[in-house]
């Protein structure tokens, strides 16, 4: 892979979850693999956004030509980690026509009346699309585990079920890019404070977010299990330090670019006789 300005090598390599790693050791203000500062990162983001946009158009064009491949970005992270900002500032750089976003909040009654993957499966991308999950099936081994919303005998088997589900997606052409965004307790406090200080941010504030802070150690335990048990070869987790928004946006942009470049896409060939069509058009 060509070396990109500021990055020391493959970004997915630099951020990939390593077996034996500990969630409590994650440096949430780090920028692994990148040696530039904020200004450099922001300038690079704009430039790489162009590349992402080109690749997305290639993917879309191939999808239209019958290629079944797609890319699915799965975003997980505590409140205020910046998942919404990724959708706005990263996914916002590409043509919305080829994007399918879904966010998974508290399940509805109808959703709860089905297996936990039912609502998820409906939102997977089709050939040519970039799908984005703002929260995902992983909530069913995170918030659900932390708050004992179902017994352990139910959530425990879900790790394996999730791995099989993602294997099925991969087999049908979906490249799953998993990004776990980590903020520190302190940075989260600052961001919640901002939501309370600015009337234009009230709508983002939820009193329950404070309650969740009390469960931080239990969440760390649940994230640890998630990373250990669902970071597999075909669908590894990437750990995104998220105290610096500019870094998390830049990092996830590169993860998507690497995934798309990995597909080796080219413009689909004409499925018609070009010269014949030119002659027809001249007369039409």
- Residues lying near its own copies in the complex (CB under 8 A) are found at 61-62, 64-65, 84, 87-88, 91-92, 94-97, 99, 101, 103, 132, 134, 189, 192-193, 196, 199-200, 202-205, 207, 210, 213-214, 267-270, 272, 274, 277-278, 280-281, 284
Taking the least distance from each CB to its own copies, the nearer of 29 and 103 is 103
Which single residue is written with the structure tokens 């234009």?
Answer: 200
Residue closer to its own copies, measured from CB, 134 or 243: 134
* Nearer CB in complex with its own copies: 10/101: 101
67 and 222 Cβ atoms separated by less than 8 Å: no
**190 neighbors 87 (Cβ within 8 angstroms):** no
Q: Based on CB atoms, which residue is closest to its own copies, 2 or 272?
A: 272
Provide Rg for the chain, Cα atoms: 20
Q: DSSP labels for 253-269?
A: HHHHHHHHHTTT--PPP
Residues whose CB is less than 8 angstroms from the CB of residue 139 and which lie 6 or more positions away in sequence, other chains included:
76, 104
Nearer to its own copies by C-beta: 190 or 234?
190
Which residues, other chains included, contact 128 with Cβ-Cβ below 8 Å and sequence gap of 6+? 59, 60, 61, 62, 63, 64, 67, 69, 70, 98
Taking the C-alpha atoms of residue 281 and residue 77, their distance in angstroms, rounded to an integer, is: 53
Our CB check for its own copies shows the closer of 88 and 114 to be: 88
Give yes or no for a contact between 145 and 95, defined as CB atoms under 8 angstroms apart. no
Question: In the complex with its own copies, which residue's Cβ is closer, 42 or 194?
Answer: 194
Collapsed DSSP state (helix, strand, coil) of residue 13 = helix
Q: CB of residue 11 vs its own copies: minimum separation in angstroms?
A: 22
Span between the terminal Cα atoms of the chain, in Å: 47
- 78 SS3 class: coil
């Amino acid at each position: 892979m060509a070396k990109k300005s500021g990055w020391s090598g493959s970004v997915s390599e630099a951020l990939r979850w390593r077996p034996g790693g500990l969630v409590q050791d994650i440096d949430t203000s780090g920028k692994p693999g990148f040696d530039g500062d904020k200004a450099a990162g922001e300038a690079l983001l704009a430039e790489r956004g162009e590349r992402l946009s080109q690749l997305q158009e290639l993917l879309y064009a191939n999808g239209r030509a019958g290629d079944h491949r797609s890319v699915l970005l799965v975003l997980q992270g505590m409140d205020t980690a910046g998942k919404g900002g990724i959708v706005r500032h990263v996914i916002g750089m590409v043509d919305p026509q080829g994007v399918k976003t879904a966010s998974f909040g508290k399940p509805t009654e109808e959703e709860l009346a089905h297996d936990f993957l039912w609502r998820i499966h409906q939102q997977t991308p089709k050939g040519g699309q970039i799908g984005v999950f703002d929260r995902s099936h992983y909530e069913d081994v995170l918030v659900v585990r932390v708050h004992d919303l179902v017994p352990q005998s139910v959530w425990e088997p879900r790790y394996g079920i999730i791995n099989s589900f993602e294997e099925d997606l991969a087999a049908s052409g979906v490249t799953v890019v998993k990004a776990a965004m980590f903020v520190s307790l302190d940075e989260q406090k600052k961001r919640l404070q901002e939501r309370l200080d600015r009337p234009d941010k009230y709508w983002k504030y939820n009193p329950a977010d404070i309650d969740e802070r009390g469960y931080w150690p239990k969440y760390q335990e649940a994230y640890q299990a998630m990373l250990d048990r669902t970071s597999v070869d075909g669908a590894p987790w990437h750990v995104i330090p998220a105290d610096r928004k500019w870094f998390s946006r830049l990092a996830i942009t590169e993860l998507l670019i690497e995934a798309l470049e990995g597909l080796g896409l080219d413009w689909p060939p004409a499925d018609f006789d070009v010269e014949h069509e030119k002659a027809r058009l001249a007369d039409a």
